[in-house]
Amino acid sequence: MSGDTCLTTALCPAAGPKPKPCSFKGGSLGNKYVRLNVGGSLYYTTVQVLTRHDTMLKAMFSGRMEVLTDKEGWILIDRCGKHFGTILNYLREDTITLPKHRQEIKELMAEAKYYLIQGLVDMCQAALQDKKDLYEPVCSIPIITSPKEEERLIESSMKPVVKLLYNRSNNKYSYTSNSDDNLLKNIELFDKLSLRFNGRVLFIKDVIGDEICCWSFYGQGRKLAEVCCTSIVYATEKKQTKV
């Protein structure tokens, strides 16, 4: 078997006699492998790795604490084994590449606190602070790029859907002096509603439709109502569009 660690995952520890405590004489094993069962995940590593830093693991494997073993000799640690491989890598290298997501960093930090690995706790705290300082959008508004995409979004949504179609590039009509202002008012209203109700309603924007400004409302995958804010007023030899 190559490498310092080998991981297999079990749904639960094997049934059998109750674990028995024993006094682990880690110093006598040196660099020999030990077998760890961490919450059902199985690891091989050496006593040297486990005792490099002044942590709970060093106390366990230097003989200062009793450890539990099963009938097959696996040393039992009653913690989730998801991040234990990362813990071992930190003990070897004094540094690691942290997970990308905040939740996983928080989980890793909780394990580092349990094993009293202060250096890893500090790394996690610094990373969480950096991610906190980054901009995190309050809500995300899809912009329709094709009719098929619109159909897919509406049919797959479990929420009611509000769609605002605005197409200022539609130049088939001329515009009144107030048209741009009125169009912006509709867009501003849409933005305010999407920020306030994005948890309950799916808001989408459409910039490719034929109308200049139109609201559509959907429920259970079908259109329930539509409000077109574009009206055409004919003047002498001139078409004007009011929004």
The reply to whether the predicted model has a pTM over 0.75 is no
**Residues 13 and 76 sit within 8 Å (Cβ to Cβ):** yes
pLDDT in tens, 32-62: 888 999 999 999 999 999 999 999 999 988 8
- pLDDT score of 6 more than 60: no
pLDDT tens for each residue of 55-102: 999 998 887 888 888 888 899 999 999 999 999 999 999 999 999 888
Q: What is the mean pLDDT of residues 184-194?
A: 92
User: For domain 24-131, is the CATH number 3.30.710.10?
Assistant: yes
DSSP notation for 186-209: HHHHHHHHHHHHTTTSEEEEESSS
Average the pLDDT over each of 6-15, 97-106, 150-159, 187-196 and give the range with the smallest value: 6-15
Judged against a pLDDT cut of 60, whether residue 242 lies above it is answered with no
CATH number of 143-232: 3.40.30.10
Fill in the amino acid letter for 95.
T
Burial of 143 (0-12, 13-18, 19+ CB in 10 A): exposed
3-class secondary structure, 150: helix
SS3 state of residue 9: strand
Residue 208: pLDDT band (50, 70, 90) is: confident
Phi-psi category of residue 22: left, alpha or beta, with phi > 0 → left and psi -120 to 50 → alpha: beta
* Mean pLDDT computed over every residue of the chain: 81
For the chain, the structural domain boundaries read 24-131, 143-232
